[in-house]
């Protein structure tokens, strides 16, 4: 399945068996989150990067520094991790 922006979501039931599909609260655009977004998803504008919080978190888990994650954690609770145990397969 592909989304309007061209990204692809797996439809394999085995991969998605541990997923719980719920919307995630948006990460607000502040001077700090904008700066983190520029570092974590350097190839696109921060507003676009922050518009999809699950995608943003996938990149953050790979590229964010400890200091970046401290900023992100102000806006994202631990609950996002339980959304899908196979989050990395989605990207």
Per-residue tens of pLDDT for the chain, all 91 residues:
444 554 444 455 555 555 555 567 889 999 999 999 999 999 999 999 999 998 999 999 999 999 999 999 998 876 655 554 444 444 4
pLDDT at 88: 44
What is the C-alpha R_g of the chain? 13
The full set of domain ranges for the chain reads 13-90
pTM over 0.95: no
Q: How far apart are the C-alpha atoms of 16 and 19, rounded to whole Å?
A: 5
**In this predicted structure, what is the pLDDT of residue 8?**
44
């Amino acid at each position: 399945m592909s989304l309007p922006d061209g990204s692809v979501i797996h439809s394999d039931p085995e991969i998605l068996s541990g997923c719980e599909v719920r919307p995630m609260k948006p990460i607000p655009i502040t001077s700090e989150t904008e700066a983190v977004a520029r570092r974590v998803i350097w190839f696109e504008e921060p507003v676009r990067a922050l518009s999809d919080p699950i995608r943003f978190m996938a990149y953050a888990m790979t590229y964010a520094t400890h200091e970046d994650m401290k900023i992100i954690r102000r806006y994202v609770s631990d609950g996002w991790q339980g959304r899908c145990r196979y989050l990395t397969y989605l990207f």
